A and B are shown apart, each in its own frame.
Chain A
Amino acid sequence: MKGSLQRLAERADAEGLLDVAYANVDSPFGALLIAATPRGLVKVSLPAYDPEEALEELATRVSPRVLEAPARLDDARRELDLYFEGRLTEFDLPLDWQLTDGFQKKVQRAINRIPYGKTRTYTEMARSAGNERAVRAAGTACGTNPIPIVVPCHRVLRTGGALGGYGGGLPMKKALLELEGSGR
């Protein structure tokens, strides 16, 4: 049956029917669910979240044609593995931003430009997105980032250096910053 399902995913992909491909990926923090559309990586669901809910969100908001197809996510899986080993400092993956929009998307795109090993504050992110006073909204944008780790919202801290929040839990945020050599 496994071979049949793999063939089905390949044929669906070849016929343009694989709108959302997903895979489960091991990480030092637990299993991640990652998903891609033909345009690029659309979702990274952290271990703290229910993967079933992530799949339902993808089915509702992107397309119900959601299939487990790890082959389509080979590049993303390889880059994530290298990142967790400390051997990759910049992801080179096409991203699909369709699960976000408006001011949040502006903030998230600004977050995507924070270099490895650096941190920024929520206020700086609000400013980068064009509204310095929207600090709370910048925080929300971090919390609703659909592609965490790859879009490094863990690099955004409170003014003064406190960790702030993280959807995957503060221990994970701290560990990611330590991995990148900017731990505190």
Chain B
Amino acid sequence: MTALPPFQSLLDDHATEVMGVLRGAVGRADAEDCFQETFLAALRAYPKLDDSGNLRGWLLTIAQRKAIDHHRANGKRPIPVEEVAEVAIEDPGPADDGVWELVGALPPKQRAAVALRYACDLPHAEIAAALGCSPEAARRSLHEGMKRLREELA
């Protein structure tokens, strides 16, 4: 086991990316709260972390959970998505060329669907659960959001 680096280095290296992902996932207005919750949770757990090998993935996983918690709290009904927290995050790549800014500008449902799919790597059923809608509606939001992004990036 390699020694844990000073927590400040996690902020220096990953805070901007975590904030970007959260802005995409929950919108600019709520991203700050989720950001604070993410890093406070990380700070709480940090000394007992066994593996310092993938700190970025660890932080993004916590951010994913906080984004889901946020959607749950705003949703109409409680949602059983306990198991997703352990899903490893697919690397969205640090260079996003401002894509997350565009994602943040999408209408809320589309924004959340795109972020949960591509930043948090959730399958459609779990996106639906997190958003409190049917899988069909989640798929439609994702489709609409992606269509709009493609148009803006074209």
Mark A residues whose CB is within 8 Å of B: 1, 4-5, 7-8, 11-12, 15, 17, 20, 22, 55-56, 58-60, 63-68
Q: How far is the CB of B134 from chain A (nearest CB, A)?
A: 35
Bound: A65/B5 CA distance, A: 9
**A17 (CB) vs chain B CBs: closest residue:** B43
Specify which chain B residues have a CB less than 8 angstroms from the CB of A15 in the assembled complex. Answer: 40, 44
In the complex, the answer to whether A5 meets B15 with C-beta atoms within 8 Å is: yes
**A20 (CB) vs chain B CBs: closest residue:** B6
Bound: A140/B92 CA distance, A: 51
28 A–B contacts from the bound complex (CB under 8 Å): A4-B15, A5-B11, A8-B36, A11-B36, A12-B40, A15-B40, A15-B44, A17-B40, A20-B6, A55-B6, A56-B3, A56-B6, A59-B3, A59-B4, A59-B6, A59-B7, A63-B47, A64-B3, A64-B5, A64-B7, A64-B46, A64-B47, A66-B6, A66-B7, A66-B8, A67-B8, A67-B11, A68-B8
**B39 on the interface (CB 8 Å rule)?**
yes
Q: How far is the CB of A3 from chain B (nearest CB, A)?
A: 9
**A7 (CB) vs chain B CBs: closest residue:** B36
**B35 on the interface (CB 8 Å rule)?**
yes
In the complex, the answer to whether B8 meets A4 with C-beta atoms within 8 Å is: no
Specify which chain A residues have a CB less than 8 angstroms from the CB of B9 in the assembled complex. Answer: 55
> Do A59 and B5 form a contact, CB below 8 Å, given A4-B19, A11-B40?
yes
In the complex, the answer to whether A65 meets B43 with C-beta atoms within 8 Å is: yes
**B37 (CB) vs chain A CBs: closest residue:** A11
Q: How far is the CB of A4 from chain B (nearest CB, A)?
A: 6
Q: Determine the interface band of chain B, counting residues with CB < 8 A from chain A.
A: 20 to 34
**B12 (CB) vs chain A CBs: closest residue:** A68
Bound: A64/B5 CA distance, A: 6
**B16 on the interface (CB 8 Å rule)?**
yes
Residue in B16, B19, B44 with the greatest tally of chain A CB atoms within 10 Å: B44
Bound: A56/B2 CA distance, A: 12
Specify which chain A residues have a CB less than 8 angstroms from the CB of B6 in the assembled complex. Answer: 20, 55-56, 58-59, 64, 66
In the complex, the answer to whether A64 meets B36 with C-beta atoms within 8 Å is: no
Specify which chain A residues have a CB less than 8 angstroms from the CB of B46 in the assembled complex. Answer: 64-65
Specify which chain A residues have a CB less than 8 angstroms from the CB of B32 in the assembled complex. Answer: 4
Specify which chain A residues have a CB less than 8 angstroms from the CB of B36 in the assembled complex. Answer: 4, 7-8, 11
**B43 (CB) vs chain A CBs: closest residue:** A17
**A69 (CB) vs chain B CBs: closest residue:** B8
Specify which chain A residues have a CB less than 8 angstroms from the CB of B7 in the assembled complex. Answer: 59, 64-67
Q: How far is the CB of A53 from chain B (nearest CB, A)?
A: 11
In the complex, the answer to whether A8 meets B40 with C-beta atoms within 8 Å is: yes
In the complex, the answer to whether A4 meets B5 with C-beta atoms within 8 Å is: no
Q: How far is the CB of A66 from chain B (nearest CB, A)?
A: 4
Against A, the Cβ 8 Å flags (1 = close, 0 = not) of B116-128 are 0000000000000
For residues 45 through 104 of chain B, which have their beta carbon under 8 Å from a beta carbon of chain A? 46-47
Per a CB cutoff under 8 Å, which of B8, B15, B43, B47 touches A1?
B15
